[in-house]
Amino acid sequence: ISLLCPLSRTQLIAALGCSAFRQKHTLPDLPYDYGALQPHISAEIMLLHHSKHHATYVNNLNVAEEKYKEALAKGDVTAQVSLQPALKFNGGGHINHTIFWTNLSPNGGGEPQGELMEAIKRDFGSFGNFKEKLTAVSVGVQGSGWGWLGFNQDQGRLQVTACYNQDPLQGTTGLIPLLGIDVWEHAYYLQYKNVRPDYLKAIWNVISWENVSARYTACKK
């Protein structure tokens, strides 16, 4: 929901799905076992990252949405505004991680094929250049955040960028997310300590180019 385009109270309620029958957000199942990405990402990290960190975003998002629904019903604009950071942070955390799990695969690694590879060569010169650029952007995130490969629909091209904290790519930049790399310390510290570049070197071995390619194809339709 864009705060630049004011909506009526009725439209806001409809857009947020704040009806009595709205389904609560739930933690998605991983498409592989916690240990499936070893040795590149340990089972302990995956267990904590998914069942604790992602689950916390889901739970807090549900709480924030419930409070927002109450604020809407009361016409309490101050409360609605005060809840925006929680909605953005926890909603972004849920969106980002839901994409992240599918971007990874025990059968990943290598290079993409077909249309995605052609687009990467067109927009970055080569796969190697793209890999270096996304790695550098991800290493350069100060504090916590994400490195992203996104699709700019207006320009019809791929872009690499970073988002801080749990800011969702599409909601804050307009780019459609294709590949996200989590560089919060909880994504790697237990295995790689404070050496983020080693984690970023390893994660390329488990990138699911099949998933990234499917996202690219879908966003072009």
Per the annotation, binding residues for Mn(2+) are 49, 97, 182, 186
What are the binding residues? 49, 97, 182, 186
Taking Cα atoms as reference points, which of 107, 106, 96 lies closest to residue 49?
96
The DSSP letter of residue 142 is: -
Angle between helices 114-124 and 127-139 (to 10 degrees): 70
Q: Give the whole-angstrom CA distance, residue 13 versus residue 18.
A: 5
| Spatial contact of 67 and 216, defined as CB atoms under 8 Å apart | no
118-153 in b/e form (b: 16+ CB < 10 A) is: ebbeebbeeeeebbebbbebbeebeeebbbbbbbee
